[in-house]
Structure 1
Amino acid sequence: MFKQLQVEHSLFLINQDHMNLFKNLAAKWQPVFPDVCAKCLNTLDSWAIVLNNWVFLKSQFTDELILNPSKAINYSINTFLIDELKKIQIIQKTKEFDNDDLQYFVAFQLGNAIDLWVYNTLEKSSEADLLLPQHLKPYFLAHLEDDFQTDNATFHRDQTRAIKILAQVIRSQNSFRITVSSAVNRAVYLYEQHGNK
């Protein structure tokens, strides 16, 4: 499924070389990570989450990888979660490792863990209806649809509703921080088991 990813799935300004490198890593590590956990989004968009996590981690080492300003506005929930990731110490420590393979392991584990955390958080809230439509339609390519610019009020309203819930949980509980830390630790463990072979 990751082979269907396009540059447009990235929230960051990337080129085809970045995409090819990501796809090569996904193919290389497919025996370890055969498929994503797709709870909130469809499978392709869940792979796009892994891609965006990987580019986010790579962006710590270069000035050329920056968030696409228009996508940062359109995909505000993702921008919000990226900003929250930056505040977590273990993510800051991960920046010390300029290693594509390790970054892929971390990106994959983060993608699955955060997807499950968002799903569980929204499912327990009074806004569980937010989970219903996202699984059925493309998410990261929504901005390419002809009617997106004229009929995107629901898309943005739903993201705002989700951010309010997630922000409240992040501010009042440690579940997000614990989720991220556990995902990174699991990624490092798996990398130590498989990455040096």
Structure 2
Amino acid sequence: MFEQLQVEHSLFYIDQDHMNRFKNLAAKWQSIFPDVCAKCLNNVDAWANVLNNWVFLKSQQTDELILNPSKAIYYSINTFLLDELQKIQIIQKVKECENDDFQYFAAFHLGNAIDLWVYDTLEKSAESDLLKPQNRIPYYLAFLNDDFQTDNALFHKNQTRAIKILAQVIRSQNCFRITVSSAVNRAVDMYDHYVTK
């Protein structure tokens, strides 16, 4: 499925070279990571989560990888979660690491873990209708639709509803930080097993 990703799936300013690097990594490690967890999104968008996590982790190394401000406004749930990731010390260490392979391992595990955490958190909330299958339309390319730009679009309302729940859980519990740390630790273990053994 990662082959279907386009530059437009990125929330960051990237070019085709960045996309090709990511796809080469995905192909290289496909036997270890055959497919992503897709509880909240369709499969292509779940791969886009991994892509965006990888670019986010690489953004420490270069000034050119910055969040696209027009997308940041509309994909507010992603911006919120990236801001929360930025506050976690183990993520800072991964961002400082200049190793494409390890950052891919970390991005993959983060993509799966955060998707599952968001799903579980929303499922337990009063807003579990956000998880209904009809809400799993293409997500990262939604900005290409004409009605996406309107403030009253269901897309934006759903983002706002989800952020309220996720923010409340993050502020009152430690589960997001634990989820993220566990994902990075799994990435370290797998990297040590498959690459540095």
- Alpha-carbon deviation of 1:145? 1.3
1-structure distance, mates of 2:196, 2:16: 27
- Alpha-carbon deviation of 1:152? 5.2
Query: In 1, are the aligned partners of 2:12 and 2:67 still within 8 Å (CA)?
Result: yes
RMSD: 1.1
Report the counterpart of residue 184 of structure 1 in structure 2: 184
Gaps of 5+ in 2: none
Report the counterpart of residue 79 of structure 1 in structure 2: 79
Cα offsets for 1:8-59 (capped at 9, x unmatched): 0000000000000000000000011000000000000000000000000000
State the aligned residue count. Answer: 196
Q: Does 1:174 align with 2:174?
A: yes
- Alpha-carbon deviation of 1:174? 0.5
Report the counterpart of residue 14 of structure 2 in structure 1: 14
- Alpha-carbon deviation of 1:95? 2.0
Q: Aligned pair in 2 of structure 1 residues 154, 187: CA closer, same or farther (>3 Å)?
A: same
Query: In 1, are the aligned partners of 2:77 and 2:162 still within 8 Å (CA)?
Result: yes
Query: In 1, are the aligned partners of 2:59 and 2:95 still within 8 Å (CA)?
Result: no
Query: In 2, are the aligned partners of 1:125 and 1:165 still within 8 Å (CA)?
Result: yes
Residue correspondence of structure 1 range 32-71 to structure 2 within 5 A: 32-71=32-71
1-structure distance, mates of 2:3, 2:107: 17
2-structure distance, mates of 1:149, 1:64: 26
- DSSP 3-state at the match of 1:94: helix
- DSSP 3-state at the match of 1:33: coil
Q: Which amino acid aligns with 1:184?
A: V
Gaps of 5+ in 1: none
2-structure distance, mates of 1:139, 1:28: 26
Q: Runs of at least 4 residues of structure 1 off by over 3 A? A: none
Q: Does 1:158 align with 2:161?
A: no
- DSSP 3-state at the match of 1:67: coil
Report the counterpart of residue 140 of structure 1 in structure 2: 140
Cα offsets for 1:99-134 (capped at 9, x unmatched): 000000000000000000000000000000011133
2-structure distance, mates of 1:141, 1:152: 18
Q: Which amino acid aligns with 1:47?
A: W
- Alpha-carbon deviation of 1:151? 7.3
Q: TM-score, normalised by structure 2?
A: 0.97
